[in-house]
Structure 1
Amino acid sequence: MSVNREELKRLIDFIHEEDTAEVYDFIGYLNMKRERETIEQLDLDLLSKDKELIRQVQKSQEDHTYGRIYNKEQGLRYLQNKISEFESEQNL
């Protein structure tokens, strides 16, 4: 849809005073929406080129496929054991 910007400006000039705040907020919303879409696209572009992130996702998918996943309790025990091992090494 093509909009004549001059006509749009003219319409804005004739908006009732009590509606101007809403129009102002809506224009701000549209600008923010466009900026967010641009940022999200940039993020996707960057993430799609991050080889380490892609490797981690592939490893995670592989771990899930082969059942190498922990439930909450197993994960907590694993971390507690790793902390204990680390602290033991520090005390040597």
Structure 2
Amino acid sequence: MSVNREELKRMIDQIPEQDAIEVLDFIGYLNMKREREVSEQIDALSEDADLIRQAQKSREDRQVGRIYDQQAGLDYSRNTGLSP
């Protein structure tokens, strides 16, 4: 859904001060909600044992020079069970 920001700004300019305060509070609520959702997603990823294992394996591969082009990397990933 596309929002005409200029129209939105015009509407805010025309509402009473008390309503503008409520709009500001609501925007703050939306921002906090979005930040909380992102934080929850990051927390979930940090607890994903498979993802952690893949990251550790990738780090080990880079340290010992096992670096692949895209196709070789995909083949390697499939052969080692790192991808579905």
> What range is the shorter-chain TM-score in?
0.5 to 0.7
Q: Give the TM-score, by structure 1 length.
A: 0.50
- The equivalent position to 2:70 in structure 1, one of 50, 70, 75, is 75
Q: Is 1:62–2:60 an aligned residue pair?
A: yes
Q: Which runs of 4+ in 1 moved over 4 A?
A: 18-22
Partners of 1:25 and 1:17 lie apart in 2 by 10
The structure with more radius of gyration:
1
Deviations 1:40-85 (A, max 9, x none): 2211221121110110110111111111112xxx324x37xx6xxx
Decide which structure has greater helix share.
1
Q: Give the TM-score, by structure 2 length.
A: 0.53
- Structure 2 residue ranges without an equivalent (≥5): 1-13, 76-84
Farther-moved stretch of structure 1 (47-56 vs 24-33): 24-33
Q: RMSD of the alignment, in Å?
A: 2.7
Query: Percentage identity across aligned positions?
Result: 31
Q: Is 1:33–2:31 an aligned residue pair?
A: yes
